[in-house]
Structure 1
Amino acid sequence: MTAVDRAARPAVAHANDSRTRVPAALVAALLAVALMAALGLSAVNLAAIAPRALWWPALFSPDLHDIRQIIVHDSWLPRIVTAWLAGATLGLAGTIFQQVLRNPLAEPMTLGVSAGAQLALTLAALWAPATLGVLHQSVALAGALVAAAAVFGLAWRSGLAPVTVAIAGLVVTLWCGSIGVALQLFHAPYLRGLFIWGGGSLVQQDWSDVVSLAPRLAVGGLLAWLLLRPLTLLGLDDANARSLGLALRRMRIAALALAVMLSAAVVSAVGVIGFIGLAAPTLAQLAGARRVAHRLVLAPLCGALLLWLTDQAVQPLANALGELVPAGAASALFGAPLMLFVLARMRSVQRLDAAAPLAQRLRSSRSIRRRFALIVLVTAAALVLALDLGRGVHGWQFSSVADLSRIAIWRVPREVAAFAAGIMLALAGTLLQRLTGNPLASPEVLGVSAGAALGLIALVLCAADAGHGARLAATAGGAFATLIAILWFARRSGYLPQRVLLAGIAIGALFQAVVAVVIAGGGERATTLLAWLAGSTYTVTPADAITALVLCLLIGLLTPFTGRLLEILPLGDAEARALGMRSSLARGALLALTALLTAAATLIVGPLSFIGLTAPHFARLAGARRPLEQLALAAPIGGLTIVVADWLGRTLLLPRELPAGLVATLLGAPWLMWLLARRHAA
């Protein structure tokens, strides 16, 4: 037995556990059913284009005088082959990302590939539209590679440590995405085509995408196979990998560069197709592919099958709606229920690796208290400035007492709601990252924000001119329905964090697919939805502000009682029981508290994803190590960030406004990038 096999033996032993055999057989059966369904749907769609007698000649030697045969040969068939190639490429890239970053939440979009490509195309569409005619693939590829290079640069000094790479990738993704959304809010009529491209479109007019993707997949698969031993070792912790002679930085950059190139190839060819790169490796592992070699083979097949089935299932609907159902968005409509069905029957899942700390030096309690006091003072000053300082017809000026009495009714509710929402999201993000040990976990991963979005979409589709109260009720209904579904779903597993994260991602992807379809339709509904999703305080009323503040106080005051739970749960179930703690009950309570904080903030200002993700990291970088210290620093950091962001979004581009969520990301992401870039290797 080789050293690699001995090192990987625990994982294999886990795979052979009898508790996982039933799910593996179930997943295999589901994949077989999916294959039969894809074949049947393909036949149905082909029959709608041409009669059965013309199938053979249309596929292989079409009559150029028969439009039906031309459509089959130059549109229908290359569309299927493109779905195979794109799905397989994303499945392969997702496997590499998850193995190198040692994180089951990693996917091809982790390193900002899709966000960079979409931003590049957005900029080109606005200021160099002539380049999109023949160079759109080159523009998208260049944007994807620049974003990935930025991630590598930020994580270079840490030796490309998995946690740092993952965080840097997510920050770059948020930053590029926020710039793109801001431009879309200002130039929505000119960028409607990018809405559809952003959802991934497999519509084909020739075989050019097949010719582009096929050799890249073949070369990528060969290189991945040559990197099999390094990939296996990269799944171990750094100390064990080094002891087995692996050059960590060199192999990580080689593997990540390969995965980025594969992802960029798909993005440049057919647009952003999410979820496939996350779902395919997960399904392959659930089907019994535990070794890296097996996953490198099975995950691309799962990805190809999932995207093929999705595309064939939505083609009749797409034809009815004028090709406004993006394939990438639709893939979540089918892939998410499949993952939920499988996860609901799993009895055990692999435990997530604990996140490595982002700050290495221990700080004294006195130092933490000084930092907390400083952040609170800065936050108080920011609240005063946001209320009093603004722009008018004469430029920047402080408001007089008389003016302040008139404008306070507009400004105070916004600032109070923003402050309360920032605190709640920061607390939720800290609890979730502490509970799961995963630095990529954020409140939105639970799917609660996506559920609120679905409630708003349902209302907008049924009554576009609904009032503020109806919108608040719709978002509340969607958020709390999702919360109940997540907690019910996780109950069978004893509220294991990894199960909750995967379930939340699947449900969130399902809801976000509906969001993407609505946005692809364009119009005022898309613009309204984009503004809300970006985190807006536009419509906050005094009653909303009071509600937000009360919810923040009532729910937030419960968080100091979680310190002991967060200290003991990471030790394991056996240790927790020895200390008299019921692990499943404690995890359920923490998850419920996290979801309540997320839902309360989302109801008021929409999903502010950047705060819940990065406020805990800012607190760590400020020296917080223990759970209560991190909660204490993250809360005012979250409130301060949103207050400043809302103030700047309201004043900088007067008379236009930017949502607070966008501004928080645009300003906070570069700061976090700078902090990450300054870190030395551990």
Structure 2
Amino acid sequence: MTVAATLDRAESGWLRAPLTRYLLAGVALLAALLIHLSLNSTLSLADQWSLLWGRTPETFEDFQFVYAALPRVVLAVLVGAVMAMVGSLLQQVTQNLLLSPMTLGASSGAWLALVCVNVWAPELMASWGAWFAMAGALLSVILVLMIAGRSGLSGLPVILAGMATHILMGAIATTLVLLNQYATETLFIWGAGDLTQTDWTWVTWLLPKLSIALLVLLVAPRPLTLLRLGDAGAGARGLSTGPIIAVLLLLSLWLVASAITAVGVISFIGLITPNIARAAGARTARDELCFSLMLGAVLLLLTDCVAVEASTWFSDLVPSGTAAALVGAPALIWFARRKLSSRDQTSLQLPEGAARVGRRVWVLVPAVLGALVLLTLCFKPDGFAWSAPWTALKWPTDLVLSLRWPRLVTAACAGVGMAVAGLILQRLIRNPLASPDILGMSAGATLTLVLYTVFIGGSIHEAGPVLAFAGSAGVLAILLLLGRRTHYAPGIMILVGISLGALIEAVVHFVLAKGSDQAYTILGWLSGSTYRVSDAKALWFAGGTAVLFLLALSTARWLTLISAGDHIAMARGLDTGRARLVLLILACALCALVTAVMGPVAFVGLLAPHVATLMGARKVWPQLWLAPLAGMVLMIFSDWLGWAILYPKQMPAGTIAAILGGSYFIFLLTRRRLG
């Protein structure tokens, strides 16, 4: 059969798609609509039907149905269908099953934009807030695409770039929220993703902007079919892949930004729905787009039903985005677990730098670390003057020293722990863009502590390290269960990280939307704080970090052999399966220890091994020493900056480290892409 015949058959394949599949989807959509309306209204089906056919509302229940229940169900159908169709479009354009609006960072960009407007120009929020959110989402996605590049769209680089951008923008937004609590408290329900409506305003605003989806359904299938042939095959058929990819991505971004602006952040619909559609038998481009559209409406309707029903169990409203994350995270792992294998590797070259570690480095780095230690202990922020900055340096009193040294030790140990964990993970999966944040180990500990605080009560600072270890161990168990069949493929690890990250974000926004006193306490802890670390806890933290660091040094040979490749490692007599398991447990213990003491710390595990490599630590042994030193420098400097630059206000060290490390990391990636 000729290529032309194949294309024509593929183009018309949607007409011969199994009728049963679409009939079942239609029945499911109708059932979801009826269930949703019954949960949101006390009216009988006959009364609802009469109102739909034009009867004038008279009672409160009539008005509630017309102006609350109906707009909500229409928005659920529109947003679910569009997000699913965009997810299918993105995955077909890039041939990347993990790509979606969520993993591209659109939600974090919109969230940061709205926080900035509320803080610096609140008078513009009512009239222009939607457009600022749309601009933030577009800029965030463009940044991710610039970092990943076209060659990285089909693999893990774009997912990693999206997660890095999400963490960076989330850290900046958190900083603004903590410094301007009263100006931003009204945004939390939007950040949680909520479909609740009181009139038809958002429906009428959104509907014209989503009409472009019809154009996508008409125009996109043939280019998508050609793209399946590859660049060479598409070029032979007269299709220039570069421009068509750009146009389809721009259309996708417009639809996503519009939906996010209207209802907030609702994750996973665009990620799991196309995978479900393919599992159900959708094969051609048009079939997958259309069937994903139908399934997306069904899934968001049912998810919102869960949110409505759960709101009756709790005293507070459960946002739709929270329910979507709780349902979508396990579903994502379930549907994608067999599609990822050990072949899902993305080999990225180590950054350019010195060929070996020079003597100056071994002198300069400890000297910088020592200077930072003295600065942390001796700096007096209220005595600083630009004309004579040295006057702010004075040896601390016993009281000041007793307050500062636990924070100093905590920051230093957190830097060591995350740096060593990041080094182990980067060597394990042979990808310098990996980090403990990607694996979700810190996320598991964080989720356990937050859930304990929300549903059981008590302070998150007193929840105890046992819960943190239990959360990290749970993530490790998931990784081992899935990794045994996939040989610890990076795709599975990233999948778990994405899922847990979305779960944590959903739970946190749920807590913040409640407006309780514990909301900002949890938010501050999630930023990575050294505030409440006592003398005893700091010493315990230091002892545990030292033991784990010595264990990491003893695994240097394993890391060296695994970095060279499994075949070489096995030829040298290394049991790679057992070695990977031990190294994974070690990384898990380091992440759990840091998270239990001061909360999650982002980007340190990503950046510290990178900096060590730039300084010439190409081999494992020098990298095992330089990466912890770099991590200590970054965390101690971040902790000092957090309480010194904003004095008398303070910012958590983890937030400052995420902003500094994330900005530098994205700068390096962008410079590498442009140069």
TM (normalized to structure 2)? 0.83
Larger mean CA deviation between 585-594 and 524-533 belongs to 585-594
Instruction: Indicate the residue corresponding to 1:388 in structure 2.
Output: 378
3-state DSSP of counterpart to 2:380: strand
**8 Å Cα contact 2:508-2:523 kept in structure 1:** no
Distance (whole Å) between structure 1 residues aligned to residue 470 and residue 540 of structure 2: 16
Distance (whole Å) between structure 1 residues aligned to residue 235 and residue 415 of structure 2: 41
Instruction: Indicate the residue corresponding to 1:315 in structure 2.
Output: 308
Distance (whole Å) between structure 2 residues aligned to residue 432 and residue 292 of structure 1: 37
Larger mean CA deviation between 304-313 and 670-679 belongs to 670-679
- Pairing 1:489-528 to 2, within 5 Å after superposition: 490-491=483-484, 495-528=488-521
**RMSD of the alignment, in Å?**
4.1
Matched, 1:587 2:580: yes
Q: Which amino acid aligns with 2:39?
A: N
Q: Which amino acid aligns with 1:521?
A: K
**8 Å Cα contact 1:230-1:246 kept in structure 2:** yes
**8 Å Cα contact 1:230-1:251 kept in structure 2:** no
Give deviations 1:164-197, integer Å, cap 9, x for gaps.
Answer: 6555544443333222111211222332221110
Aligned residue among 433, 436, 449 for 2:442: 449
The change in CA–CA distance for 1:334 and 1:255 in structure 2 (over 3 A counts) is: same
Distance (whole Å) between structure 2 residues aligned to residue 295 and residue 438 of structure 1: 32
Aligned residue among 108, 126, 131 for 1:138: 131
**How many residue pairs are counted as aligned between the two chains?**
653
Give deviations 1:298-323, integer Å, cap 9, x for gaps.
Answer: 54444333322111111133366577
Instruction: Indicate the residue corresponding to 1:419 in structure 2.
Output: 412
Aligned residue among 346, 352, 374 for 1:355: 346
Aligned residue among 187, 191, 212 for 1:216: 212
Shift of 1:593: 2.0
Aligned residue among 114, 122, 126 for 2:119: 126
3-state DSSP of counterpart to 2:381: strand
Shift of 1:105: 4.6
Distance (whole Å) between structure 2 residues aligned to residue 246 and residue 611 of structure 1: 43
Q: Which amino acid aligns with 1:354?
A: Q
Q: Which amino acid aligns with 1:416?
A: V
Distance (whole Å) between structure 1 residues aligned to residue 99 and residue 371 of structure 2: 39
Shift of 1:616: 4.1
**8 Å Cα contact 1:102-1:353 kept in structure 2:** no
Give deviations 1:610-652, integer Å, cap 9, x for gaps.
Answer: 2233434444555655555655543332222111111000111
Instruction: Indicate the residue corresponding to 2:85 in structure 1.
Output: 92
Matched, 1:271 2:267: no
Matched, 1:225 2:216: no
Distance (whole Å) between structure 2 residues aligned to residue 571 and residue 291 of structure 1: 41
Instruction: Indicate the residue corresponding to 2:355 in structure 1.
Output: 364
The change in CA–CA distance for 1:453 and 1:672 in structure 2 (over 3 A counts) is: closer
Instruction: Indicate the residue corresponding to 1:21 in structure 2.
Output: none
Give deviations 1:29-85, integer Å, cap 9, x for gaps.
Answer: x99998798467326415x43112213223342423344344334432332232233
Larger mean CA deviation between 110-119 and 622-631 belongs to 622-631
Matched, 1:334 2:330: no
Instruction: Indicate the residue corresponding to 1:377 in structure 2.
Output: 367
**8 Å Cα contact 1:454-1:515 kept in structure 2:** no
Larger mean CA deviation between 431-440 and 597-606 belongs to 431-440
Instruction: Indicate the residue corresponding to 1:645 in structure 2.
Output: 638
- State the structure with more CA Rg: 2
Shift of 1:474: 4.2
The change in CA–CA distance for 1:508 and 1:125 in structure 2 (over 3 A counts) is: closer
The change in CA–CA distance for 1:112 and 1:314 in structure 2 (over 3 A counts) is: closer
**8 Å Cα contact 1:106-1:166 kept in structure 2:** yes
Shift of 1:415: 1.5
Give deviations 1:423-443, integer Å, cap 9, x for gaps.
Answer: 222222333344345666432
The change in CA–CA distance for 1:259 and 1:561 in structure 2 (over 3 A counts) is: farther
Aligned residue among 384, 393, 400 for 1:407: 400
Larger mean CA deviation between 77-86 and 470-479 belongs to 470-479
Larger mean CA deviation between 439-448 and 134-143 belongs to 439-448
The change in CA–CA distance for 1:66 and 1:123 in structure 2 (over 3 A counts) is: same
Q: Which amino acid aligns with 1:187?
A: N
**8 Å Cα contact 2:438-2:494 kept in structure 1:** yes
- Pairing 1:532-571 to 2, within 5 Å after superposition: 532-562=525-555, 565-566=558-559
Instruction: Indicate the residue corresponding to 2:453 in structure 1.
Output: 460
Instruction: Indicate the residue corresponding to 1:42 in structure 2.
Output: 36
Shift of 1:571: 7.9
Distance (whole Å) between structure 2 residues aligned to residue 580 and residue 40 of structure 1: 63
Shift of 1:270: 1.2
Shift of 1:564: 5.2
Aligned-residue sequence identity (percent) comes to 36
Gaps of at least 5 residues in structure 2 are: 7-20
3-state DSSP of counterpart to 1:130: helix
3-state DSSP of counterpart to 2:600: coil
**8 Å Cα contact 1:618-1:672 kept in structure 2:** no
Q: Which amino acid aligns with 1:646?
A: D
Distance (whole Å) between structure 2 residues aligned to residue 560 and residue 286 of structure 1: 45
Give deviations 1:316-372, integer Å, cap 9, x for gaps.
Answer: 3336657732211210111223345556xx5563446433435465753345x7656
**8 Å Cα contact 2:192-2:320 kept in structure 1:** yes
